[in-house]
Copies of this chain bind each other. A is one copy, B any other.
Amino acid sequence: MKKMRRSARLVDMTQHLLAHPHTLIPLTMFSEQYGAAKSSISEDLSIIKEAFESEGIGALKTVAGAAGGVKYIPQTNDEQAVHFMKGLIEQLENPERLLPGGYLYMSDILGHPATLSKIGKLFATAFADKEVEVVMTVETKGIPLAYATAGYLNVPVVIVRRDNKVTEGSVVSINYVSGSSKRIQTMSLARRALAEESRVLIVDDFMKAGGTIRGMIDLLQEFKATVVGCGVFVETADVAERLVDDYLSLAKLRDVDVKGKQIGIELGSYFHEIRGS
């Protein structure tokens, strides 16, 4: 046990809380670690709480009682969210991003850890109260988004494979129809990868008709899981029949004019439903 001054405590507690989101930390842990009275730790925490809230970092929730402590809930406020997504949409609307089949080139944007981290924080903000136990996605492009989200929710990630050549023991596979291409495809998940009756948040980068996400939802039935939410980064507006009803999107691809090289993107349902903006 070493004694630490308040200023040093504030720095170390801040980094500890940021590194352990959605985790209940008993005040005794801090007071033992820093050799400080619980009352001093409480004062430290109210300073941190105020700074976290005023700077839009998140909330600090105090749980009273013997099993009590403090919990950091990452939150992006409305202003930050709109500002960030509008900036991203500006980048996405570059017509050079148009790919065959009405897709968008987003690998560069989704390749930047700082950008991903902000997207993950948006999803973590939206689904903070859903008691998510696992974030699930399907390979390949959704994986970084899933990890960014899971990091802020402090839960593990489970990755569904697009083949059934998985060498991880017994595997559950389903065939599904990709809503846009109408082709039959396979996705698989090792039995040991997901505990039964888990509460699962599905995250993916792009949704057209929603066949892939529908496939994940169907696959999850085999694991008796509860789907507590679906978050997609970009959805397309121009879909005849949507295979998934309940989801949150951050951006909506509206007008794609391949010949004229024009893309129109607007804010997704995250901003309508949750934020009312």
Q: What is A's interface to B at a CB cutoff of 8 Å? A: 6-8, 10-12, 14-15, 18-20, 47-48, 50-52, 54-55, 57, 99-101, 103, 105, 107-108, 111-114, 116-117, 139-140, 143-144, 147-148, 150-151, 154-159, 161, 167-169, 190, 192-193
Contact = CB atoms under 8 A, between A and B. Distances in A.
Contacts of A10: 7, 10-11, 14
A140 B161 contact: yes
A108 B158 CA distance: 8
B150 A113 contact: yes
Contacts of A157: 111, 113, 144
Nearest to A143: B143
8 contacts: A8-B54, A10-B10, A15-B55, A19-B114, A107-B158, A111-B159, A139-B140, A147-B147
A114 B167 contact: no
Nearest to A139: B140
A147 B116 contact: yes
Given A140-B161, A157-B144, A51 B107 contact: no
Nearest to A134: B111
Given A108-B193, A144-B143, A154-B113, A167 B100 contact: yes
Interface of A is mostly: helix
A190 B107 contact: yes
Contacts of A161: 140
A147 B11 CA distance: 25
Contacts of A151: 113, 117
A132 to B, nearest CB: 12
- List the 10 closest pairs (A to B, CB-CB), nearest first: A11-B51, A113-B151, A111-B156, A14-B14, A8-B51, A7-B47, A139-B140, A10-B10, A143-B143, A111-B157
A156 B100 contact: no
Contacts of A18: 15, 18
Most B CB within 10 A of own CB, among A47, A112, A147, A150: A147
Given A111-B158, A140-B143, A144-B144, 7 more contacts: A6-B7, A8-B51, A11-B48, A20-B114, A105-B168, A111-B159, A111-B193
A113 to B, nearest CB: 4
A51 to B, nearest CB: 4
Given A7-B7, A113-B150, A139-B139, A168 B107 contact: yes
Contacts of A168: 99, 105, 107
B143 A192 contact: no
